Structure 1
């Protein structure tokens, strides 16, 4: 399965936003600058995350994005579904019914075993993504960061964090 670059950008942006103060926001342009990615491409995904209730979009000149819920209540699955959509990765088109010599109707009384196997695999994949929260990612990060990553983020926040009022 191949996920879009937007998934990686969204996960990194959300982990970044988790470090903001309660009143802080970061603009899409600042997040894009920090990660060295296209602002317009990232903005599309930030809007999807906002529509999914993962991020709050704060309008105005001091506006930007912040988490809509705590890092412990945002899973990797939440992010993937917001960016990629909720449809299954594998979509069975029942090609067994096509071609010059399709199978007879009696062969379709049970689900296609290929489709069933792919759905089991997707369910396992989604279960694992559902198990991992942004809080888990941040905890893992703390175990190996010698202070370099934290210092980089702090410097960036000092230059780019906007104070926009308290979260509701």
Structure 2
């Protein structure tokens, strides 16, 4: 399983919106510039966050995105599900009913597949871990690694987008 880059981009943009400290909508171009991303593709990645109630979107020339909830109320699982969808990562195709065991009666396969059970249990733990981590806790970790981060973001945007400084 591979999680798409859209999950990373979406989570980073949520943090960036908070660090920017502005009350106005932030355009996709401004958000994309902060990470050197292509604006059109980033916009497609952020639309599912709007549908999930993580961001709000304002159309028009002065439009853009804002956080719909605080980072304390957004989990990594919320972002992952918004971008990737709610489908389970593992799908058992019951291949044990083929080949060597193809002639066995249906009753031989009533017990769950042990591989399916193990994969589902692992995925459940993974999903619980993501649901337990808020973007606020991720932001705290980032700021512990780089205490100047919020100010750096604000300074960079003040230099590159002076009309939009907080």
- Bin for the TM-score computed over the shorter chain: 0.7 to 0.9
Give the 3 Å change call, closer, same or farther, for CA 79–160 of structure 1 in structure 2.
Answer: farther
- Count of residues in Structure 1 that have an aligned counterpart in Structure 2: 162
Residue in 2 that maps onto 1:52: 52
CA-based RMSD of the aligned residues comes to 2.0
After TM superposition, the structure 1 = structure 2 runs for residues 85-96 of structure 1, keeping only pairs within 5 Å, are 85-96=85-96
Q: Secondary structure at the match of 1:25?
A: coil
Q: Is the 8 A contact 2:3 2:84 kept in 1?
A: yes
After TM superposition, the structure 1 = structure 2 runs for residues 1-150 of structure 1, keeping only pairs within 5 Å, are 1-21=1-21, 23-99=23-99, 102=102, 103-147=104-148, 149-150=149-150
Asked if 1:154 corresponds to 2:154, the answer is: yes
Deviation at 1:162, TM superposition (A): 5.3
Deviation at 1:160, TM superposition (A): 7.1
Give the 3 Å change call, closer, same or farther, for CA 161–91 of structure 1 in structure 2.
Answer: farther
Q: Is the 8 A contact 2:20 2:150 kept in 1?
A: no
Q: Is the 8 A contact 1:25 1:161 kept in 2?
A: no
Distance 1:25 1:80 in 2: 23
Q: Is the 8 A contact 2:56 2:67 kept in 1?
A: yes
More helix by share: 2
Distance 1:160 1:109 in 2: 66
Q: Is the 8 A contact 2:97 2:109 kept in 1?
A: no
Deviation at 1:99, TM superposition (A): 4.2
Q: Is the 8 A contact 1:73 1:133 kept in 2?
A: yes
Distance 1:12 1:152 in 2: 15
Structure with more contact order per residue of length (Cα contacts < 8 Å, sep ≥ 6): 1
